[in-house]
Amino acid sequence: MARFAVVAAAAVLVVLAVAPVPEVAAKKWTVGDNKFWNPNVNYTIWAQGKHFYLDDWLYFVYDRNQHSVLEVNKTDYENCISDHPLRNWTRGAGRDVVPLNVTRHFYFLSGNGFCFSGMKLAVKVEKLPPPPKASPVKNGGKSSIVAGLVAQLVLPVIGLAFGAMWNENLWL
């Protein structure tokens, strides 16, 4: 049993070292961070320096008895007009998620006059930039040597170890 644990742990480590780690594209943004969606928070400053990408999400947390999440056009955003929103994202629980699934400017505000207390947010959604290109590996470089050793030595040894354990009934 101990041999199996050692071989299994070695196999997992090798796979983790060799397998590429997928890049996570979408991000969930909690609007206002720990101040959430409340009056007297400057959401312009909160959004500064952040990059909102296609398929990210905005997570609004607020007092459901007082506030709302309304998507409006730019003019209504600038003038705090909530009478005819493009979309009402308020679902009643005070925990609303807005998918940013189009590359454009989004404008949000809270109704009932709370926009005048700062409850408005504008974000520009962009396409995710392409990943950086990998630098070419020179022949004989450290990474090519390690990859070659793993492919030629370590993986076959692990395969042989598992086969031997199978034949010896060491799986139990």
Query: Residue 72 maps to which CATH number?
Result: 2.60.40.420
22 domain residue, yes or no: no
Q: Look up residue 6 and give its two tokens.
A: 């050692």
pLDDT digits (tens, 9 = 90+) for 32-67: 999 999 999 999 999 999 999 999 999 999 999 999
Residue 106 lies in a domain: yes
Residue 136 lies in a domain: no
Instruction: Judge whether 161 lies within some domain.
Output: no
The verdict on residue 171 lying in a domain is no
Q: Is the pTM of this model over 0.75?
A: no
Whether 135 is in a domain gets the answer no
Q: Is residue 37 part of a domain?
A: yes
Residue 80 counted as domain residue:
yes
Look at the chain and report how many structural domains it folds into.
1
pLDDT one-digit tens code per residue, 95-140 = 999 999 999 999 999 999 999 999 999 999 999 888 888 777 666 5
Provide the β-strand partners of residue 151: none
| 32 within 8 A of 39, measured Cβ to Cβ | no
| Long-range contacts of residues 43-47, Cβ cutoff 8 Å, at least 24 apart | 43/118, 43/119, 43/120, 43/121, 44/121, 44/122, 46/121, 47/121, 47/122, 47/123
Task: Identify the domain containing residue 64 by its residue range.
Answer: 28-126
